[in-house]
Amino acid sequence: MANHKSALKRIRSDEAKRLRNKYYLKTTRTFIKKLRKATDKEEAQELYKKVAGMLDKLAKRNIIHKNNASNKKSKLHKVMSAVQ
């Protein structure tokens, strides 16, 4: 266990950040699943815009790597384009 006051604060703040990052990542995954299940072209396009923004934000905050975000966006764009 930490002995310094600053170390204790760091532990508390790290836990809060971890939970926040977990929430953002889980929310993004949920929207990705919705996009993959979308059957309407308009709905898929709207979801893609939202998901692409979420992935960019995750990459900007270093929750996921920027190449990972780019790869996911590319695959999701193919999924969105295939929707009739």
How do residues 48-67 score in pLDDT, each as one tens digit? 999 999 999 999 999 999 99
Single-letter residue type at 75: K
Residue 20 has pLDDT above 90, yes or no: yes
- Taking only the tens place, the pLDDT of each residue in 38-50 is 999 999 999 999 9
What confidence category does residue 71 fall into, taking pLDDT thresholds of 50, 70 and 90? Answer: very high
Tokens of 44: 């898929």
Q: Are 28 and 57 in contact (CB under 8 A)?
A: no
In the chain, what are the domains? 5-82 (1.20.58.110)
Residue 69, C-beta contacts closer than 8 angstroms, at least 6 positions apart = 55, 56, 58, 59
Single-letter residue type at 46: E
Q: How confident is the model over 70-84, as a mean pLDDT?
A: 95
pTM summary value: 0.86
